Structure 1
């Protein structure tokens, strides 16, 4: 039996859950008064789609997390807007919960088509893509991965490549920066910004109290634990920031949570308890690996940890995520006072 703090969440997005299980796109849904959920394909990724949310106000129409930029994605988004009685030119605002291409990707194209403003949290930064020296950025990325123990014959597989870097570099810069506690500037909407770092340094959630909705981006998902990476340059202890912002968003348990992936649910407090427990147990596992195997690098630690499909199944970007997640746990444990002699950060100045 589950303890009270780890009770299961309550499913509300039944059609979304069925579509997830059947590995198809979920339907466009009206989920509240003047609120629509529109799936946008996320090609080549196990998450398969981003759930974009359209909120209609008093003459304003705001889209949250417009999704990955493809022609097919634009077609799906346009069709969803049409079901809500709108066209692309009716959009007045676009909010991305964070600077990842499956959330912000379509923003530049939509801004050009509609004239809508684009907004991000005021703490979200480009990090690597702030530099125009792509060769330098790619070299430092490889140096970081080498420091973490990624073998030379796996570097090309795990490291960032030029097309990927250029893709990130071309993502839209925001017109507006949203501060913690501010309201999204749209008539007829009461959408409050909550700064929730962890998955990215400036991730935000959006709370619509009148409608009883929380748009959680990637901060809180119903089934998986969001990836918390140590990225250089970036926050020194992203896992600690994630814990703090999880506690901040778990202010009640009855509002419907609208995540950017998977499906809707209620039970934010219950889900936060699960996520905190999962990550704390992962840190315990890391400490056990350190004791049992005396690993010399982050890579050595990661290959002894439990992964859902096994370490050997991890390839390319998934492998990169596994290594950077392991590094974030080491950074957290060091900050907690554990003496861990495994290199995590390069003492040289980082690229800004």
Structure 2
């Protein structure tokens, strides 16, 4: 009678060290490969923004591929209109802003600084006199030489030019395939985790998706809406740089209250340099006050709510840390990563407070 060989016991692997090792390895890989990750990160962001729209079309019996094509057409139309309408106006106003620099500097040196010194008994110290006609001419010439040299280097290296074109061409390709297969990719990634963790991980990923979606989609709409509100309001009160100042304030609104602070200071300086009229300054303050009320009472509660949970200081730190570690790619992924870390950290703190270590005498 043949001897029956007992089955081998299953391989025992300690889960926590393995998962921590995987996370560290992914972080190192991201840092090493960040020079080539830009098209993939941009494609992932576009796919993430478009996935809810594709899901909504899919629920209306539209095939996934057709839904992706329709969403791509929508996004492409928006980008085309922005490039066609906004870019020329922004360049025109940027040129006008550069021409106003001498007047703003003259106002600071002759009026603002002496007033501060007299008001607060500050020791007198004048700013250096600057020949702005020569300075601006030199800087524009330097900028022109730098642009020409950069373009010469890029075009002189066929490989660099082809690589840049390929990177930009990869963005819609990556976005298309990620958007088409987003749900399947998320499901397969969940299956990688140990079975005992999958329900809990699925729950936490759902929370993280809610937080990230609330911030990326909601805050993006808030930023665009504030840019339109500030630009339209400043244009109505007669500020010449209305579009440029509104766009700056809208973009700065990625950090709560930063857009309001940056926008109102820059707009007050521009309005004073333009007319020196106190009534226009009051009108600018009213524009930003109304914009702030609309943001705090309508836009943020409806579009973002209180789900993001990131303190403004944490937002600033995440953006700066991402830029320091991985440049522009790091800035793109900083806030989503910070939001996900916040969700998992909240669960870790809850487990710790429920543990014997926290509750023991």
TM range (shorter): under 0.3
What is the TM-score when the length of structure 2 is the normalising length?
A: 0.25
Higher strand proportion (structure 1 or 2): 1
**Larger Cα-atom Rg:** 2
Higher helix proportion (structure 1 or 2): 2
What is the TM-score when the length of structure 1 is the normalising length?
A: 0.26
